[in-house]
Structure 1
């Protein structure tokens, strides 16, 4: 999907045309809708999206109060999209200050904002996008907030935070019974995690010859009701579904769904970004930071990456040297294209959730910008009959002591961990340290790529 770039004509520039959607069709009568809270001016402003998803969905979106945590590159993209789609209010909580690196990827900041609070600096320009939406900056520390704070919002979106902070906010959002999203980007890579607790939504489609049964579709999805209506001479089916979700702290240790574990072909197709991201989260949770270029971090991250590979029961050749080289170079950096895609995809999902339409992300989307892939994995714990979560098989020990000796020569300022050998590191080009170096990043794959290579359990890379 393209990033949302809404204008007064509708929510998605270059998106699907009005007549391609099977929705309500004609615009509502302005006088009738004024009684329901939507003015004639708003009908004109949100003309296209009302045609796309109907006035009821727009009413829900219009009254929604959304909390956005941190407003860096991806946060700015999400804020822009939600504001242009006409939510009720957007509270941006960020106690960080604007620094030089923010200017390359966060296009709502300027040179004169350096040293100012990031939420306050961005909010002024975000407000100009749509005066009908209340944009509220909050300069406090989000990790000090309790469930009562989150209960005043209809949705919480946390961006660019350590795994521990994401887990805390997710837990508080669950206690407040509010849908939660987590997202972040690392150069050409990114993720979206959704915990909507329990979410009901409507799929609207043309009725087929076979009737839709009220039944369970999967372990997390059920059809709870089916209704029909006539529209433009066609029979339209409205299928109401319910999705059940898992908090991020459990999803991070959950196995792949049985349809992967029982199918070797599907298992071989799982992206290596899954074990790499889990390893990064564990490293971050253990140390409170991203891995650096030190030998100690190199050994630690390599060990974690191999453990995650084993825990997920993935083939040994899933983690290859060229991918790990690229991932290591990208950790901690921001580039606009990735922020646009991942932020646009999350915004689209959030709008659908607020409007209670279309199937949402279930539950982890991983974006690989190198290969332009964005698979979604449903990660949920498997419970035993006694109600306890089934334990994953223990990973075999990893002999990190067999890593190559010697100092690792990494480009100055690169904030990334390594799972490759010293010889491999010596062939690597400079990695991005901020969005201002996006052009340098775009051609790093060709500058230092090597062919093949599987990461062995001892942390070495076999290039044979």
Structure 2
């Protein structure tokens, strides 16, 4: 076990006592008059220390590393962070920063826990009421990440204490305190972030100092493109190949590599470009350089950017705003005034305005007008928005978890920016509100209905009233997925009381087990939960946060195969669904189910610092499936097989190699051993498939079946020779380096890189890595003991006889996908003699009775299984063949494993936004203008909100319908009666009728077959055509119709829900 890991087993022996440290202040007093101090904490292992570079735990941080990169993570790991104010917002920020992996986090608060904290402070329990908020939060926050020491402090934030913190975050301090701390922090050149949530309103302020350098403003990978030409002139024009748009923008900087002729460009200092078109740009003067001949790659260079921040005192008077909602363009100045007015109100009255007190709100508005009239310059508004500020006064005593989750993610990302110098910070004010969550009629929101009562939901009741809280408690919601977003949603639902009342219930399902890499974002899990079910572990964790929560966990996948669990009865009782899924197919399936059962769907997703939220409302909006992303760009087959020019090509080739060698061939051989009808079914396959399958089985059971590990090593060595030497020699035999095309151009030019064969070198670590990984994977398939003994493997390699390769004439190699497709569609005559020979040579199943073959499923996150070892070595060897820059294991895992980069901050924001939309649904809003679909990119930062798109309307005759409509038909009836019913009731002639993939009726169907079905019951037709019985849980069938109207014109019509009779 490495020093960076701890045994999670609760039964393990206690570790030796680690050193403890106690930091004390020499000046100042705590709130109770005693000398304040930092709470003693056990010294925990660190990811990095000041000025030192320590190894980052890639197993834990893998998904975040793909967002931030190693350098940014190392800078974070040398940064101490202070968070002052451990209410609902403070704990969200702390959670995200600790998960992110800074050097240390200190929690500061001198407030005591009160009942309203339970609305959003998920690490405070009823037993903690009356205790210090920072101290009761310490244990749970410290458990989030073993690499981040967490300390508590309850004293005054003086100059001596503040100087050690790279970032100071204030969440519940007065303006006077903010200004005092701002001056101290700025004097040390450190960063200050101020943030507040007041009910439905939120504020963020950032000051990263006079001069702050951003190393990477966007976090996007530098773009690169292959070059077709470079002109030699004062305003030189670079032209890229037709296949590759350059993707650059005016003002970007680039450098070059692999240019022939104009070699001075290779590795040149970054040149600023001017875009001329999608394939062309100018790079300035090249008239003194050599003539361009051919080739080359242009690559964008990320240039540092320096920005200047104003101190808080100046920024208050001269505010710059980041827009969060372009539909509320005039709102930031009004909210800037509102938050300043709130501070003045508290100073004057000694308290916050009372919830929904019309008297207090009038005083608040009057004070705002008075304050505004005293201002001058940019901070003064032309006219005070009295309605908005009155609303601010009504709800500012509220404490809402969804707002805290949203702001907690935004602020934590700003902390990471200050520490890592990666991504663009907020300059300098951000305001956010969710006033649409309030009911259209606010008459019921009175002081009496919204006053605190000592309930855990007081912070929410202050905004929405008691009746609304009861609605939340009675909800029945289904969360699909218990990963990163699922964990956050479960926490948010528990905090706001979804399903926590009489008749309420939250269901969650996830079939996955917890893995180490999950712990960095899926904050409900701890190291001792690894390999436990996600759903039940998450449900248990939120039950601790809110003992009133009613959460039922399932461990089932959602799909047609589990509809006996999630059936009509299950969905009919739901109030809605919240997706927390990581794949499009499952999202589309759940979307279809929600449309069918007329249930609202809250959809969300993240990709690194990007996130999106979509709300689907029955009979109002389009569904998730109404619009889809363009398909992922695929790599042409010929590029993969013979002409790679990027590391992505070699990695995909390596993945395909893994599938072919260790899964597909092994599956065919395994099926031969256990399926008595395997040969019969294989010979019925079309084209050349029977020959291909039997060749694979023959290799697996005869030609390439190893009997011991040494034979596995010999197989791997010979396979290396075939892939990286022989096949390349054959390719160069067919197309020599000097080959010309029919038009006289060099064949090996443009995207085609001329390869060279490799010579095996036992002392080359990559060569040996390939043999070791391939041999061990082969051994795993055949249940042969594996080996990592490099000395022994080296001897086995040296004993392998490798025949010399002689290129063959007459070998056809496709040079385009069209040629490859033509060859695949016209395989020629199947070699029946070879087919017969294979059947004869395959050993009988009885003779192989002791043999068990295990096909391998690719698993990227297990560093002990040789899967990624094989992929990395295989890809980099092929990259060497084609002079492509290799990729390290980290990058290879991202591309080959199709890993989705992820970070806790984005997840927090997205889940908060989802719950804001949930509150609107519970209010009963049906106007699309009240809802917001959102797209965010925390790196920029960018926030885009828009109204959901209305469900498209269609008509037949004078009837208007949308995707939410359908024909409800009560069964049972015969097919003839069904057709006649639509003619008589709806004046529609059915021309085609289908159920799933089964065609039940069509006008072009043979008459005998049609007549045979006409007098059968609809359910019987379905059973006969599908050749499947109807499962007991099926209470209705879905039919799709093609119809003509009375004028014999095609018309689009809704689907049919055909209700089966109950027995």
The residue number in structure 1 matching 2:1061 is none
Q: Residues of 1 paired with 2:363 and 2:174: CA distance?
A: 18
The residue number in structure 2 matching 1:79 is 94
Structure 1 residue 203, shift from structure 2 partner? 2.6
After superposition, the Cα gap between the structure-2 partners of 1:45 and 1:52, relative to the gap in structure 1 and judged at 3 Å, is: same
Please say if residues 228 and 238 of structure 1, whose CA atoms lie closer than 8 Å, have aligned partners that are also in contact.
Answer: no
1:44 aligns with 2:109: no
Structure 1 residue 165, shift from structure 2 partner? 1.6
Please say if residues 64 and 87 of structure 1, whose CA atoms lie closer than 8 Å, have aligned partners that are also in contact.
Answer: yes
Q: Residues of 2 paired with 1:274 and 1:119: CA distance?
A: 29
After superposition, the Cα gap between the structure-2 partners of 1:289 and 1:175, relative to the gap in structure 1 and judged at 3 Å, is: farther
Structure 1 residue 303, shift from structure 2 partner? 2.1
The residue number in structure 1 matching 2:181 is 169
Structure 1 residue 157, shift from structure 2 partner? 0.4
Aligned CA RMSD, in angstroms, stands at: 4.0
The residue number in structure 2 matching 1:208 is 248
The residue number in structure 2 matching 1:337 is 402
Give the alignment partner of residue 339 of structure 2, picking from 260, 277, 283: 277
Q: Residues of 1 paired with 2:53 and 2:182: CA distance?
A: 32
Q: Residues of 1 paired with 2:249 and 2:361: CA distance?
A: 58
The residue number in structure 2 matching 1:63 is 78
Please say if residues 150 and 172 of structure 1, whose CA atoms lie closer than 8 Å, have aligned partners that are also in contact.
Answer: yes
TM-score using structure 1 length: 0.64
Structure 1 residue 284, shift from structure 2 partner? 3.0
Q: Residues of 1 paired with 2:176 and 2:333: CA distance?
A: 24
Please say if residues 335 and 438 of structure 1, whose CA atoms lie closer than 8 Å, have aligned partners that are also in contact.
Answer: no
After superposition, the Cα gap between the structure-2 partners of 1:253 and 1:281, relative to the gap in structure 1 and judged at 3 Å, is: farther
Structure 1 residue 175, shift from structure 2 partner? 2.4
* Number of aligned residue pairs: 342
After superposition, the Cα gap between the structure-2 partners of 1:193 and 1:433, relative to the gap in structure 1 and judged at 3 Å, is: farther
1:247 aligns with 2:311: yes
Structure 1 residue 445, shift from structure 2 partner? 11
Give CA-to-partner distance per residue, 1:140-182, whole Å, 9 cap, x none. Answer: 2x3xx32221111111001112222222221221223220001
Task: Classify the secondary structure of the residue corresponding to 1:157.
Answer: strand
Aligned residue runs from structure 1 range 215-234, under 5 A: none
1:136 aligns with 2:173: no
Q: Residues of 2 paired with 1:269 and 1:122: CA distance?
A: 35
Structure 1 residue 236, shift from structure 2 partner? 2.3
Please say if residues 107 and 153 of structure 2, whose CA atoms lie closer than 8 Å, have aligned partners that are also in contact.
Answer: yes
Structure 1 residue 414, shift from structure 2 partner? 4.7
Q: Which runs of 5+ in 1 are unaligned?
A: 1-34, 214-225, 373-408, 416-427, 449-464
Aligned residue runs from structure 1 range 32-431, under 5 A: 37-39=53-55, 42-140=57-155, 142=156, 145-198=157-210, 199-203=212-216, 205-206=222-223, 208=248, 210-212=250-252, 235-254=299-318, 268=330, 270=332, 272-292=334-354, 297-307=360-370, 311=375, 312=379, 314-316=381-383, 319=385, 321=387, 323-370=388-435, 410-411=447-448, 414=451, 430=465
Q: Which runs of 5+ in 2 are unaligned?
A: 1-50, 224-246, 254-268, 273-295, 438-445, 453-462, 470-491, 502-915, 926-1063
After superposition, the Cα gap between the structure-2 partners of 1:297 and 1:59, relative to the gap in structure 1 and judged at 3 Å, is: same
After superposition, the Cα gap between the structure-2 partners of 1:209 and 1:246, relative to the gap in structure 1 and judged at 3 Å, is: closer
Task: Classify the secondary structure of the residue corresponding to 1:353.
Answer: helix
Task: Classify the secondary structure of the residue corresponding to 2:69.
Answer: helix
Q: Residues of 2 paired with 1:335 and 1:134: CA distance?
A: 29
Task: Classify the secondary structure of the residue corresponding to 2:216.
Answer: strand
Q: Residues of 1 paired with 2:467 and 2:338: CA distance?
A: 18
Q: Residues of 1 paired with 2:68 and 2:271: CA distance?
A: 17
After superposition, the Cα gap between the structure-2 partners of 1:56 and 1:93, relative to the gap in structure 1 and judged at 3 Å, is: same
Please say if residues 207 and 310 of structure 2, whose CA atoms lie closer than 8 Å, have aligned partners that are also in contact.
Answer: yes
After superposition, the Cα gap between the structure-2 partners of 1:172 and 1:134, relative to the gap in structure 1 and judged at 3 Å, is: same
Q: Residues of 2 paired with 1:340 and 1:52: CA distance?
A: 20
Please say if residues 163 and 285 of structure 1, whose CA atoms lie closer than 8 Å, have aligned partners that are also in contact.
Answer: no
After superposition, the Cα gap between the structure-2 partners of 1:56 and 1:309, relative to the gap in structure 1 and judged at 3 Å, is: same
After superposition, the Cα gap between the structure-2 partners of 1:341 and 1:81, relative to the gap in structure 1 and judged at 3 Å, is: same
Task: Classify the secondary structure of the residue corresponding to 1:203.
Answer: coil
Give CA-to-partner distance per residue, 1:324-380, whole Å, 9 cap, x none. Answer: 3432221121111000001100111211221101110000100112359xxxxxxxx
Please say if residues 353 and 394 of structure 2, whose CA atoms lie closer than 8 Å, have aligned partners that are also in contact.
Answer: no
After superposition, the Cα gap between the structure-2 partners of 1:411 and 1:355, relative to the gap in structure 1 and judged at 3 Å, is: same
After superposition, the Cα gap between the structure-2 partners of 1:210 and 1:297, relative to the gap in structure 1 and judged at 3 Å, is: closer
Highest RCO, 1 vs 2 (Cα 8 Å, sep ≥ 6)? 1
After superposition, the Cα gap between the structure-2 partners of 1:297 and 1:360, relative to the gap in structure 1 and judged at 3 Å, is: same
After superposition, the Cα gap between the structure-2 partners of 1:273 and 1:211, relative to the gap in structure 1 and judged at 3 Å, is: closer
Q: Residues of 2 paired with 1:106 and 1:72: CA distance?
A: 6
Deviates more, 1:299-308 or 1:79-88: 299-308
Give CA-to-partner distance per residue, 1:63-95, whole Å, 9 cap, x none. Answer: 211011011000000000001011111000111
Q: Residues of 1 paired with 2:248 and 2:193: CA distance?
A: 34
Give CA-to-partner distance per residue, 1:90-109, whole Å, 9 cap, x none. Answer: 00011111121112210011
Please say if residues 354 and 397 of structure 2, whose CA atoms lie closer than 8 Å, have aligned partners that are also in contact.
Answer: no
Please say if residues 83 and 169 of structure 2, whose CA atoms lie closer than 8 Å, have aligned partners that are also in contact.
Answer: yes
The residue number in structure 1 matching 2:4 is none
The residue number in structure 1 matching 2:244 is none
After superposition, the Cα gap between the structure-2 partners of 1:171 and 1:272, relative to the gap in structure 1 and judged at 3 Å, is: same
Structure 1 residue 410, shift from structure 2 partner? 2.9
Structure 1 residue 115, shift from structure 2 partner? 2.0
Please say if residues 361 and 394 of structure 2, whose CA atoms lie closer than 8 Å, have aligned partners that are also in contact.
Answer: no
After superposition, the Cα gap between the structure-2 partners of 1:290 and 1:246, relative to the gap in structure 1 and judged at 3 Å, is: farther
Please say if residues 213 and 306 of structure 2, whose CA atoms lie closer than 8 Å, have aligned partners that are also in contact.
Answer: yes
The residue number in structure 2 matching 1:31 is none
Q: Residues of 1 paired with 2:65 and 2:923: CA distance?
A: 45
Please say if residues 332 and 431 of structure 2, whose CA atoms lie closer than 8 Å, have aligned partners that are also in contact.
Answer: no
Q: Residues of 1 paired with 2:396 and 2:112: CA distance?
A: 21
The residue number in structure 2 matching 1:14 is none
